[in-house]
């Protein structure tokens, strides 16, 4: 359950109310030992979320720490509470874009991402029962507040966009109510899909990076001749988009649009993207006078790097987009939608034109190869050793990103699953075939069979 960026499990199998209680008590113990006294708690629309939220709050209170309950909403609404309320940390109960029987926890601690060794510490404290004890009557309190309207107010604060005709697909995820309230505040014409929050996800799976999940939005945009469409994952921290012609605008392509608008306001700014992003993005940022920075995949890792470098904008292929310019530096998909409207207005082009202006690259979706958990990092090390010996041009930021005359290919170990992740991008199909053959060759040398692959 204890992953690199969050905690997640299957409810009734690897995740129970007792686990939620232990997580709450352990996190609150760390908060208390750091001099804190109050934690914000939110939850998504999954069927198990209210049960886990109640147990989590009991655990927080058992350590003598107060809970500020912000209720049902997207993860960025919890991040907003943690950024603006008088609290020392925050926990969102969410299964993100996983199947309906999953759930989990995303955390922030004293204004910074809580990940990696922090999450392992939660497990150590729980295993040892090393919790803060409270005297009789010294348990923490629980207070509920409604911040949905304040959060929506913040999303539109200083809005400087134009009026567009837009499709919005909330996917029955936790952002539904926020999207209804947000679109009522924006100029233009808005057509909404699946804004009722339903943990059964009756229409499609809430992961906008899988192209099949954008079919309903594509149909809506085509039928009503809309300017563009946006979609959200289950907990509202990742955005997907299509242009007026139904073409997907992938995460790194969205980042090109945001970067152009941002660099007009902040010339020379550092723009961060993960190692899976297109070379076209890094080249475009450099061409506009910005400083492109390739960094490790993972929303917590990207957020930490933004703080370190003072970057106003970062993004991942997975649709996590982070704005520290006029915002708080966390990944917020409803806010990213607002900034897309603003960027198109500022740049004086339609989203379809902005997408059409991008160079045509030939690339693979994200390819995943099942491997033994204990072998995944070792395999990447073996590949790096062979590449180094051969004199290849390799970026080691996160796994191996190899530059060749054909383009580039990437092989890295997933931090959240027992898989290796690969991707390649080239100037044409023949070049792409050669890059994929190079990946296959490296995997074969390390004894990995090429199995079924998941798209993006």
What's the pLDDT tens digit per position in 354-377?
999 998 889 998 899 999 988 999
Strand intervals (E) in 357-418: 362-363, 367-370, 393-395, 400-404, 407-413
Our answer to whether residue 96 is catalytic in this structure is yes
- Position 449 scores a pLDDT of 74
- Position 133 scores a pLDDT of 81
Sign of CA pseudo-dihedral 167, 170, 172, 178:
negative
Instruction: Kindly give, in sequence order, each residue whose CB lies less than 8 Å from that of residue 77, ignoring residues fewer than 6 positions away.
Output: 42, 70, 147, 148, 151, 178, 236
Residue 452 has pLDDT above 50, yes or no: no
Beta-sheet strand order (sheet of 189-193): 189-193, 165-169, 228-232, 239-243
- Position 300 scores a pLDDT of 87
Residue 454 has pLDDT above 60, yes or no: no
**DSSP secondary structure letter of residue 108:** E
Rounded to an integer, the average pLDDT of 100-107 is 95
For 239-275, the pLDDT digits (tens) are 999 999 999 999 999 999 999 999 999 999 999 999 9
Q: Which fold has domain 7-147?
A: Alpha-D-Glucose-1,6-Bisphosphate; Chain A, domain 3 (3.40.120)
- Position 446 scores a pLDDT of 95
Residue 302 has pLDDT above 60, yes or no: yes
Q: Which fold has domain 362-445?
A: TATA-Binding Protein (3.30.310)
Rounded to an integer, the average pLDDT of 107-114 is 93
Q: Which of 49, 96, 278, 414 is catalytic?
A: 96
Cβ(93)–Cβ(42) below 8 Å = yes
**DSSP secondary structure letter of residue 212:** G
Comparing CA positions, the residue from 297, 328, 288, 301 lying closest to residue 312 is 328
Comparing CA positions, the residue from 272, 281, 326 lying closest to residue 299 is 272
pTM: 0.95
Who has greater pLDDT, 29 or 416? 29
For 399-432, the pLDDT digits (tens) are 999 999 999 999 999 987 889 999 999 999 999 9
Note the CATH number of domain 164-356: 3.40.120.10
Rounded to an integer, the average pLDDT of 61-72 is 97
Alpha carbon of residue 328 to chain centroid: 15
- Characterize the bridge pairing of strands 419-426 and 367-370: antiparallel
Residue 317 has pLDDT above 70, yes or no: yes
Where, residue-wise, is CATH 3.40.120.10 in the chain? 7-147, 164-356
* Least confident segment among 85-94, 108-117, 391-400: 108-117
| d(C-alpha 3, C-alpha 119), whole Å | 7
- Position 451 scores a pLDDT of 54
| d(C-alpha 109, C-alpha 92), whole Å | 12
- Position 136 scores a pLDDT of 63
Where, residue-wise, is CATH 3.30.310.50 in the chain? 362-445
Dig out the tokens for 81 from the structure: 């509470």
- Position 453 scores a pLDDT of 45
Cβ(364)–Cβ(433) below 8 Å = no
| d(C-alpha 381, C-alpha 419), whole Å | 15
**Phi (first) and psi of residue 28, to 5 degrees:** -65, -35
- Position 137 scores a pLDDT of 67
Angle at 44 between CA 368 and CA 228, to 5 degrees: 65
Using only C-alpha atoms, the chain has a radius of gyration, in whole angstroms, of 22
Cβ(225)–Cβ(244) below 8 Å = yes
């Amino acid at each position: 359950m204890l992953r690199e960026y969050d905690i997640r499990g299957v409810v009734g199998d690897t995740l129970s109310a007792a686990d939620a209680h232990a997580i709450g008590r352990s996190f609150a113990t760390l908060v208390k030992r750091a001099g804190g006294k109050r934690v914000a708690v939110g939850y998504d629309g999954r069927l198990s979320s209210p049960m886990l939220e109640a147990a989590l709050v009991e655990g927080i209170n058992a350590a003598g720490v107060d809970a500020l309950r912000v209720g049902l909403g997207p993860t960025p609404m919890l991040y907003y509470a943690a950024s603006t309320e008088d609290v020392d940390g925050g926990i969102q109960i969410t299964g993100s874009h996983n199947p309906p029987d999953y759930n989990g926890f995303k955390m922030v601690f004293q204004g910074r991402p809580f990940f990696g060794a922090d999450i392992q510490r939660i497990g150590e404290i729980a295993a040892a029962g090393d919790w803060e004890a409270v005297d009789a009557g010294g348990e923490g309190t629980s207070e509920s507040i409604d911040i949905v309207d304040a959060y929506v107010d913040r999303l539109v604060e200083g809005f400087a966009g134009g009026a567009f005709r837009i499709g919005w697909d909330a996917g029955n995820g936790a952002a539904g109510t926020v999207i209804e309230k947000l679109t009522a505040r924006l100029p233009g014409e808005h057509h909404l899909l699946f804004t009722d929050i339903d943990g059964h996800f009756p229409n499609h799976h809430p992961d906008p990076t899988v192209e099949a999940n954008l079919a309903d939005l594509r149909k809506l945009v085509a039928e009503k001749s809309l300017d563009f469409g946006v979609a959200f994952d289950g907990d509202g921290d990742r955005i997907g988009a299509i242009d007026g012609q139904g073409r997907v605008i992938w995460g790194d392509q969205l980042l090109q649009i945001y970067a152009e608008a941002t660099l007009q306001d902040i010339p020379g700014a550092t723009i961060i993207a993960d190692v899976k992003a297109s070379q076209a993005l890094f080249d475009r940022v450099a061409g506009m006078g910005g400083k492109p920075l390739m960094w490790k995949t993972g929303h917590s890792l990207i957020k930490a790097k933004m703080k370190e470098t003072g970057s106003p904008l970062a993004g991942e292929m997975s649709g996590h987009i982070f704005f520290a310019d006029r915002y708080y530096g966390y990944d917020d998909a409803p806010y990213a939608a607002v900034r897309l409207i603003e960027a198109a207005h500022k740049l004086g082009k339609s989203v379809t034109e902005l997408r059409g202006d991008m160079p045509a690259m030939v690339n693979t979706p994200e390819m995943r190869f099942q491997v033994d958990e204990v072998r995944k990092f070792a395999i990447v090390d073996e590949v790096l050793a062979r590449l180094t010996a051969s004199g290849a041009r390799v970026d080691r930021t996160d796994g191996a990103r190899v530059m060749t005359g054909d383009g580039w290919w990437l092989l890295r170990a997933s931090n959240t699953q027992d898989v290796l992740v690969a991707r390649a991008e080239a100037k044409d199909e023949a070049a792409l075939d050669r890059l994929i053959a190079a990946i296959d060759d490296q995997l074969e040398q390390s004894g990995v069979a090429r199995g079924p692959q998941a798209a993006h």
